[in-house]
């Protein structure tokens, strides 16, 4: 028991160290004023399958941007809801172009194929990949994003820590905790290993020349976790992911309620934890010991579990009651991980009425 207590205490110290280092990393990033004599042309690329409700929210905030030179390309991936009608309402705006497909070909995941096809038609010198459930919170959001991207060291790829809204917060609010406490962002540039690199697929920005040199979507065509794999792939080839704090510029409405959040995370939780039985079981046991069972082994670790969640929740503007329910959130996540693994093992994972298969590599 003493050895287990020391191990768990050490793990929590590492989590605190990683979280505090990542918070310092976010605060020390340069924040240039969004003014420039010449702005690069920008292509905003959005995959959409049955996204009518989200596009009704996103498109007005996107087409209302004061960025001088940008286009919006939406790839409608065989939607059977009101998505085509929503897009038609905005067709008068020449900055919007709509592409339509009827699903990905064999060997491709729908989102990856949609974005790859969008890049075949993009004309900007910068590519911004946005999910349909995002929302720009101010009319100069694109200016701020591009200005901060241009202030990064050469060879950078920008990704975002957004504001998280919507339902299912008992699960959704764990996402920024895992982003900030699970990856030491100050070391991403300093250490060359590609495992120290990832993207948030909800929002990332890259120079078009770098994109077409590496064609990351084509190289990861069958990856459900394409953002994680693309982040590692880009870093392996010399492009370093940088996390930008965009809470004031960008919001993501991930899920309307807890049931939808459960279904959404079910498709990728198993893959995030190794995607194979043995790595998954080891990581699943490690997660349960660290966040669920640790307070039962040593009561002071309950303070650590609550404190980690409280710090991140305060950063994201989440209510205090959500932080106090951190043990319940972790218990739900632990159960969800097992449900995700069981569903993958049985081949019964579906998303947007399509089966979710195993990753390609």
Which CATH number belongs to the domain containing residue 154 in this structure? 3.90.550.10
Q: Assess whether 71 and 143 both reside in one domain.
A: yes
Q: Assess whether 244 and 96 both reside in one domain.
A: yes
Please count the residues of the chain: 361
| Conformation bin of residue 160: beta by default, left when phi > 0, alpha when psi is -120 to 50 | beta
Residues of the chain with pLDDT under 70: 357-361
Q: Assess whether 216 and 323 both reside in one domain.
A: no
Residues 136, 202 contacting (CB under 8 angstroms) = no
Task: In whole angstroms, give the CA distance from residue 163 to residue 150.
Answer: 22
Number of domains the chain is built from: 2
pLDDT of residue 361: 37
DSSP state of 68: S
Task: In whole angstroms, give the CA distance from residue 225 to residue 270.
Answer: 10
Q: Assess whether 238 and 106 both reside in one domain.
A: yes
Q: Assess whether 66 and 207 both reside in one domain.
A: yes
pLDDT of residue 357: 59
Nearest to 1 by CA among 302, 298, 283: 298
- CB-facing half-sphere around the CA of 52: CA atoms within 13 A: 12
Q: Assess whether 7 and 131 both reside in one domain.
A: no
Task: Convert the pLDDT of each residue in 131-164 to its tens digit.
Answer: 999 999 999 999 999 999 999 999 999 999 999 9
pLDDT of residue 19: 98
Torsional sign, CA 328, 293, 324, 341: negative
Nearest to 136 by CA among 67, 227, 47: 67
Residues contacting residue 36 through CB under 8 Å, at least 6 positions apart: 147, 150
Which residues constitute the domain of residue 288? 2-22+265-355
pLDDT of residue 313: 98
Q: Is residue 259 in a domain? A: no
pLDDT of residue 360: 39
Residues 144, 32 contacting (CB under 8 angstroms) = no
Task: In whole angstroms, give the CA distance from residue 124 to residue 164.
Answer: 28
Question: Dihedral (C-alpha) 194, 209, 55, 52: value to the nearest 10 degrees?
Answer: -80
Question: Tokens representing 327?
Answer: 């043990």
């Amino acid at each position: 028991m003493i050895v287990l207590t020391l191990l768990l205490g050490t793990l929590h110290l590492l989590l605190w160290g990683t979280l505090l280092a990542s918070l310092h990393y976010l605060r020390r990033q340069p924040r240039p004023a969004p003014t420039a004599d010449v702005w690069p042309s920008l292509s905003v690329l959005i995959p959409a399958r049955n996204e009518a409700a989200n596009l009704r929210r996103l498109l007005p905030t996107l087409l209302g941007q004061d960025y001088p030179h940008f286009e919006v390309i939406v790839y409608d991936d065989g939607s059977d809801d009101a998505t085509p009608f929503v897009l038609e309402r905005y067709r008068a705006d020449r900055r919007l172009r709509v592409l339509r497909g009827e699903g990905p070909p064999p060997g491709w995941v729908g989102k990856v194929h949609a974005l790859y096809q969008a890049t075949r038609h993009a004309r900007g010198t910068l590519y911004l990949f946005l999910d349909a459930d995002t929302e720009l919170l101010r009319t100069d959001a694109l200016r701020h994003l591009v200005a901060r991207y241009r202030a990064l060291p050469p060879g950078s790829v920008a990704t975002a820590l957004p504001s998280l809204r919507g339902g299912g917060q008992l699960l959704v609010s764990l996402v920024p905790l895992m982003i900030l406490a699970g990856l030491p962002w100050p070391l991403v540039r300093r250490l060359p290993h590609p495992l120290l690199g990832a993207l948030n697929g909800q929002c990332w920005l890259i120079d078009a020349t770098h994109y077409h040199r590496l064609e990351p979507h084509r190289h990861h065509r069958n990856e459900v976790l394409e953002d994680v794999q693309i982040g590692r792939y880009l870093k392996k080839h010399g492009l370093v992911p940088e996390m930008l704090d965009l809470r004031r510029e960008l919001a993501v409405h991930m899920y309307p309620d807890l049931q939808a959040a459960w279904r959404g995370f079910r498709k990728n939780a198993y893959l995030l934890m190794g995607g194979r039985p043995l790595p998954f079981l080891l990581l699943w046991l490690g997660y349960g010991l660290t966040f669920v069972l640790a307070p039962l082994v040593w009561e002071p670790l309950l303070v650590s579990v609550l404190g980690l969640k409280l710090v991140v929740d305060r950063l994201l503007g989440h209510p205090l009651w959500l932080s106090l329910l951190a043990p319940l959130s972790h218990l739900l996540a632990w159960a969800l991980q097992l449900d995700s693994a069981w569903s993958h093992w049985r081949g019964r994972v579906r998303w947007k009425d399509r089966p979710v298969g195993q990753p390609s590599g």
